[in-house]
Structure 1
Amino acid sequence: MGNEADRLGGVGRFMNEMAMGFYRRGYACEIVGIAPAPEGHLQSYTRPVEIAVRTMMPDHAPAEWNIRNDADRKDRRRVARYRRRMELRRIAVERLRHLLKEWGPSTLIICTQVFAMEHMVEAGYDANDFNMPRVVGQYHGSFYGAKLTGKDVRRVTESYRNVDKTVFLTEEDATLFRKQGLNNTFWIPNPVSAPDSQNTVRRNTFFALGRYDEEKGLHFLLSAWESIAGLIPDWNLELYGEGELRPQLQRMIDDNSIPRADLMGKTDRVGDVIASSKVHVLSSVHEGLPIAIVEAGLLGAPTVAFDCAPGIRELIESGRNGIVVPLQNIKILAEEMLRLARDESLLSTLSRHCAEDMQRYSPSAIVDRWENLFVEMSR
């Protein structure tokens, strides 16, 4: 269960990968989203028809629905949007209420996001009711990222306080949340399969995979690229994703005449993008355990990443299978990108090692760890 089923991004890929992994081992699986994926953010997956997919809200929430001040309360259209949003929430909660009874104690819910858990709590989930499903909560960000939001630490600790287990992506994040009073913590990294690819020829291309939003810090990457693009005229930069900051990022490219930098939009051929490029760059302000680093590595594209979360250091051994640079340090990010573009031997070594090292995140290995957790929960 997550905020949305089949949404573009890491959590959506995780939900699909886990459902497929459990299905192959004989589990009855379904994927549940609270809301529909936003327009333009729906990711298509091929999977067996036995894996049911359902969404609790019958429609997208209206834009600008929240009521923040007196002016909003006097805006009749905004009030109408707010009422529609609350109606959709009530529908979702009522559907969940029936599902919790239907699923019963033989069902285990892996709740991947706090928003979804908050709906389950409102629907009557009670950890002390043994007629209810068992629940494992998850948080796919880092503790540092949760603090940056200003509210996620509180939301995580309140929502997951009474579930059977709360699973984080790294041991360090599990420890930090435990210090906040969450005593049921555990940690398991995400499973990742190598994306399908038909390309074999690599171009001199840096690429990024992620939403066009503040969290991904793509303006840092564009600034770094701007400072070195003239020194490596046979290289280019491609940014794949979608999001609200697209106009601002395009304006930055145009206003600064940044050469050979393109916003490529959403892609359903992630494997082809990776296999036809040489270096993945992650310039995020905060992350959990980024699936994009593993996907890129499995196809031999090492990552240069900001040190924005424990998950980065969990994935990248700097100098062996990628490069980690200080958070938001544009100068060093540019220097490391330039070094990889100029040093074919180093790039080849990193490429070979990342393809080897990322195998530890294979779905089979990670599903093994989840089944070990199930055994522990059954004692």
Structure 2
Amino acid sequence: MSGARLPRDLHPVAWWVWALGLATAASFTTNPLVLLTLAGVATVVVLARRSEQPWAATFRVYVVVAVVVVATRVAFRVLLGGGEQGGSVLLDLPEVPLPDWVLGLHLLGPVTLESLLAGLYDGLRLGTILVCVGAANALANPKRLLRSVPAALHEIGSALVVAVIMLPQLVESARRVRSAQALRAGDSRRTGRLRRYLVPVLEGALERSLSLAAGMDTRGYGRSAGAPAGERRLTGGLMLLGVCGVAVGVYAGLDHTAPRVLATPMLVLGVAAAVTGLVLAGRRVGRSRYRPDPWQWPELVVMASGVTTAVIAWWVSQHQLLVAYPGLTSFPPVTPAALAGCLVGLIPAVAAPEPRVVLA
């Protein structure tokens, strides 16, 4: 067996690029069949390649949140008027009158099939994006992900680690508290059980996240060395120029009345200035590399899988509009190109190495 196929943790950046590729593909369509296929692809890869670490259990939470988002989107369609698009009336609810200054909104009213489908399609798109992000959180090691943060951004590493580790630690703390309370008797009332369960879970998760951040700070994580005043001014100026250039370039790209010289040239200039500033600022950060994460062919295959899925979805949205954005009065069509773009995302289930088994 080659070294690339031995059980190991895949580089977290590769998992995030793959997941963001699937999420980008989901943002290019409202076709429910394509969206469900993308969510199914993410689920299959997670089930095939997730480890036994605490963060791997967070995927179920993201799936539940995605289901709640879809249900909420449909409920809002009913609450804020489900008959604005016309069509087949499913439920004729009495409309609640609103003041004249509330333009375009009304409560309840006739609920049509087309409006419910529109809410369902929009909710599925957002829910699929959440599932893809949850797949990245379940597969990528968040602690190793922080190693890949640019050196210039390591000064905010302590805050990042608390934000990234919080949800996995919540799941781990919930499992610990549930196991501990099952061994002892206590208040049998539902309110009492909730209080005894919720407080230790939140406290334990926050304490473990802060302990990790404090340990990183103690070991000098993100600590920068001294730099001359001229170098600091140059770095700050480049970063400010980069932010302004990106802002002007994005605005000019969205506003077609603006001069074209302010669009792509300013955007490229801003990105180049920001990258140069990050490189100069990173020289002041001293850090060591202990057991660096390898970049081998499985990482490249996983990243290419996500990028290919996003590119095919973009092509479908440009050349097959009825597939990417189906109508509400007919069954959503699916072409081989759209289906193939989704199935490309399954490659990591085979190409990625099996995760390491952590002995207790």
| TM-score scaled by length of structure 1 | 0.23
Which protein has the bigger strand share?
1
| TM-score scaled by length of structure 2 | 0.24
Q: Which has the higher contact order (CA 8 A, sep 6+)?
A: 2
Q: Which structure has the larger Rg?
A: 2
